[in-house]
Amino acid sequence: MKRHALFLLPALALYGAEISWRPLPALPDAEGFAGSFAGVSGGALLVAGGANFPDAPPWRGGTKTWYDGIFALDRPDGAWRVAGRLPRPNGYGVSLSIPEGLVCIGGGDAEAHFREAFVLRVFKEGLVNEPLPPLPRPCAYMAGAVLDGVLHVCGGTEKPDATEAMPAFWALDMREEKPAWRELPACPGPARILAVMGAHDGALYLFSGAALKAGADGRPEREWLRDAWKYTAASRTWKRIADLPRVAVAAPGPAPVVEGRLLVVGGDDGANAAFEPKDEHPGFPRGILAYDPARDEWSGAGEAPFSLVTTVLVEWQGRLVIPGGEARPGKRSPQVWSGGW
């Protein structure tokens, strides 16, 4: 495999103002998707795979369906087009944008979780899928981020019915001639799913998520977490940092860095996990949390006009983009939102 260039995201400026959100063209699916892969390649915004309940929500007998379609948006005022298909229906893996394209890692469907990883690359001639080394183990519902050209994934589960999360922490250095996944020291906190990870100034940050345990019926139950951790790459060490003001499970990720602060947009705080009737669920928190690494402090950064979880946050054309996601339990959204200043 050819040598890959060092990858650094440009800094975004907040200038003391709250994020201003506007809608982009909706995804070309009436239901929308959660758990999609999303990122940038060839200047286009890509959204691939994911899952929804096309007929009815699960409490009314609906069946969750996974997809393999890949959609591309070439410009913010353009129209979505079909760009290709994934190797198979897939969702709930990690999406990371690098100069070569959109990296898709792991994920799964109703039957199994996957090890596969690959880069989706857009050319004038079409879409190319470039394989990467497979993960050491199948994994879905993990967090991920890129730090100095190295892909990182943390947590997740090995199979759909798992009753405990994996303490996995793996890295793939895209600068190497022959990249290979290596295992890094596990986070000292509880193993978790659906956390948010971000990268800034030589360190990775892991926020919130949910631990798993077997319930009385043998099915997985969640323990809602609001702890936060910092991993310093140079020393390969973890340090606990200030807890989040609230739980933020499945918030869009990776967490972007704006004016030196990492942002956590929304996320599920678990307050309405048992809400009834389910059809009237009010949705998830819309508040945006900002973590300042220099002060080890959290603050508020305004509120989003949407509540979308189990989705991706993409930096595209100098703005933050959140394409679809889960609007409330059992209900997806085709809405695509763009935030800037």
| 331 found inside a domain | no
| 13 found inside a domain | no
Count Cβ neighbours within 10 Å for each residue of 186-214 and write b for 16 or more, e otherwise.
Answer: ebebbbbbbbbbbbbeebbbbbbbbbbee
Q: Is the pLDDT of residue 1 over 90?
A: no
What confidence category does residue 17 fall into, taking pLDDT thresholds of 50, 70 and 90?
Answer: low
User: Which ranges of the chain would DSSP assign to H, the alpha helix?
Assistant: none
Of 170, 201, 164, 175, which Cα lies nearest the Cα of 187? Answer: 170
**Rg, C-alpha atoms of the chain:** 18
What confidence category does residue 3 fall into, taking pLDDT thresholds of 50, 70 and 90?
Answer: very low
The residue with tokens 């290596």 is 182
> Looking at the 3D structure of the chain, how many domains does it have?
1
Q: What is the mean pLDDT of residues 127-150?
A: 97
d(CA 302, CA 204): 24
Residue range 84-125, pLDDT digits in tens = 999 999 999 999 999 999 999 999 999 999 999 999 999 877
Q: What is the mean pLDDT of residues 2-20?
A: 48
Token couple for 160: 């759909």
Q: Which amino acid is present at 311?
A: T
| 1 found inside a domain | no
| 4 found inside a domain | no
Q: Is the pLDDT of residue 9 over 90?
A: no
CB atoms within 10 A of CB 318: 10
The one-character DSSP state at 302 is E
Residue range 157-215, pLDDT digits in tens = 999 999 999 999 999 999 999 999 999 999 999 999 999 999 999 999 999 999 999 99
Whole-model pTM?
0.94
Looking at every residue in the chain, the average pLDDT score rounds to 93
Domain CATH code at residue 204: 2.120.10.80
- Counting residues of the chain whose pLDDT is more than 90, the rounded percentage is 92
What confidence category does residue 15 fall into, taking pLDDT thresholds of 50, 70 and 90?
Answer: very low
d(CA 268, CA 249): 5
CB atoms within 10 A of CB 3: 10
CB atoms within 10 A of CB 171: 18
Up-side HSE of residue 136: CA atoms within 13 Å toward CB?
Answer: 17
C-beta separation of 12 from 313 below 8 A: no
| 10 found inside a domain | no
Predicted pLDDT of residue 2: 37
- Counting residues of the chain whose pLDDT is more than 70, the rounded percentage is 95
Q: Is the pLDDT of residue 60 over 80?
A: yes
Residue range 254-309, pLDDT digits in tens = 999 999 999 999 999 999 999 999 999 999 999 999 999 999 999 999 999 999 99
The residue with tokens 């690959």 is 118
Q: Which sign, positive or negative, has the C-alpha torsion 93, 265, 186, 101?
A: positive
Predicted pLDDT of residue 151: 98
| 7 found inside a domain | no
Expressed as residue numbers, the domain containing 225 is 20-326+336-340
d(CA 115, CA 97): 19
| 110 found inside a domain | yes
Predicted pLDDT of residue 341: 82
